[in-house]
Structure 1
Amino acid sequence: MAQISRRNALGAGAGIAAATALGAAAPAAADAEPAPSPASPGEGRHPHLFSLAKSAPATYHGGTLRGATEHTFPVLSGQQGSVYLIHLDPGGVREPHWHPTAWELNYVLSGRAEWSILGTHPDGSYHNDVFTAEQGELVFAPQGFFHYFANPSDTEGLDVLALFNTSAAEPNDDIGIVGTLNSLPREILAASFGIPVSAFDRVPRDLKPVVITRRP
């Protein structure tokens, strides 16, 4: 089991207290490319204040991602903390992934999230936890545990506030299933699954993370 870091755990918990303020104003998906940046002091913004809900989103097939990291919110530099506002459209899926150096604390602002977390548990067993998180509930994904969440609704969006004990941007501590599979030779995958190499012929070989997608 990967060691769960407790750096600034109290700071991350304090962020949850403010999360409900974003719930009513969670933005809809947009087509803008990611270009978030903090306003300068000359624009009347305090260095300890960041408009997460109004920041430019990274847009994907299935939802959007807005982040406050040391790159977009400089006051976080060296503080071991970052926050993401994740919106999944109906049927949206957060790519299955794991974080090698950070735990993840998720607060459901609106909607309902189907979760899956795979890892070694305190009783020594290795199994998958599958459950549903409702509005107002917290989900903790330990450091190094493989996980994903999805929006099961066909009509309603899902908004989640995710806090990490790292100041770095998520791509620097986010290893997705697409990149994980494609980092391995096809014969190794075939041997691991006990199936012919040809079974992986239709699997794309791209290492680029999907991040957010949508059910077919």
Structure 2
Amino acid sequence: MSEISRRGALGAGAGIAAATALGVAGTAQASTAATPKQPYLFPLAKSAPAVHDGGTLRGAHEKNFPVLAGQQGSVYLVHLDPGGVREPHWHPSAWELNYIISGKADWSILGTHEDGSYHNEVFSAKAGELVFAPQGFFHYFANSSTTEGLDVLVMFNTSTGEPNDDIGIVGTLNSLPREILAASFGVPVSAFAAIPKDLKPVVITRRR
């Protein structure tokens, strides 16, 4: 073998050895490096639920899904057991879209309209249907069934987490003195004696 070809062979061998060493080192580095969390993916169905008497609530919002920060959007997966009720409430700064995944829901949506009157829309929604609750409208939904569960995907145009944009009926009643409630309803103060004074958000409950 000539001196030139010998040098070439030695050079090639050194290059292959170096590349192999780098490859092994790179593989070792890749195997030990932590895999970064995908910022655009959230395991909603597998996330830890908030458990209530009557059902569960799972949510993706700016606190647990940072990519939503400032995006005016959040999503919740609501499950209501048979007899379960989403507490009557309203959202002062957000509308919501509700997609019925499975089951059937009884709905009531109350709000003012252009003619200045209150319209209370009462209806049912089944799997595959979409319900819109306008911003500031008082509403609730309940599981229609006494034997089957209800699953609803709820989408908001706010990134804040529940119940930060949720004013429920229990909290509303407890924000008013009993004598003001009595005057508003035209009944004795004693009529409100049984209303719980705990301001903790209810969110989900069940028919008694």
Q: TM-score, normalised by structure 2?
A: 0.82
Alpha-carbon RMSD across the aligned residues, in angstroms, is 1.3
Matched, 1:202 2:202: no
State the match for 1:9 in structure 2.
Answer: none
In structure 2, the residue matched to 1:75 is 67
Give the Å deviation of 1:70: 0.4
Q: Distance in 2 between matches of 1:161 and 1:170?
A: 14
1:159 paired with 2:151, answer yes
Deviates more, 1:41-50 or 1:142-151: 41-50
More helix by share: 2
The 5 Å alignment of 1:116-131 reads: 116-131=108-123
Which consecutive segments of 4 or more residues in structure 1 shift more than 2 A? Answer: 41-45, 121-125
Question: Could you say if the C-alpha distance between residues 116 and 44 of structure 1 is closer, same or farther in structure 2, counting changes exceeding 3 Å?
Answer: same
Listed one character per residue, the Cα deviations across residues 174-199 of structure 1 (whole Å, up to 9, x for unaligned) are: 00000000000000000000000011
Distance in 2 separating the partners of 1:128 and 1:42: 54
Q: TM-score, normalised by structure 1?
A: 0.79
2:98 match: 106
The aligned residue for residue 115 of structure 1 is 107
Report matched runs for 1:88-99 at 5 Å: 88-99=80-91
Q: Is the counterpart of residue 63 in structure 1 residue 35 in structure 2?
A: no
1:98 offset after TM fit, Å? 0.4
Aligned residues between the structures: 176
Distance (whole Å) between structure 1 residues aligned to residue 35 and residue 49 of structure 2: 21
Structure number with bigger Rg: 2
1:148 lines up with 2:140 in the alignment? yes
Residue type of the alignment partner of 1:195: V
Distance 1:95 1:42, change over 3 A: farther
Percent identity of equivalent pairs: 78
What is the CA distance between 1:102 and its match in structure 2?
0.3
Indicate yes or no: 2:182 matched with 1:190: yes
Q: What residue ranges of structure 2 are gaps of 5+ in the alignment?
A: 1-32
How do 1:2-21 and structure 2 match up within 5 A? none
Shift of 1:44: 5.5
How many angstroms does 1:152 deviate by? 1.6
* SS of corresponding position for 1:96: strand
Distance 2:131 2:36 in 1: 35
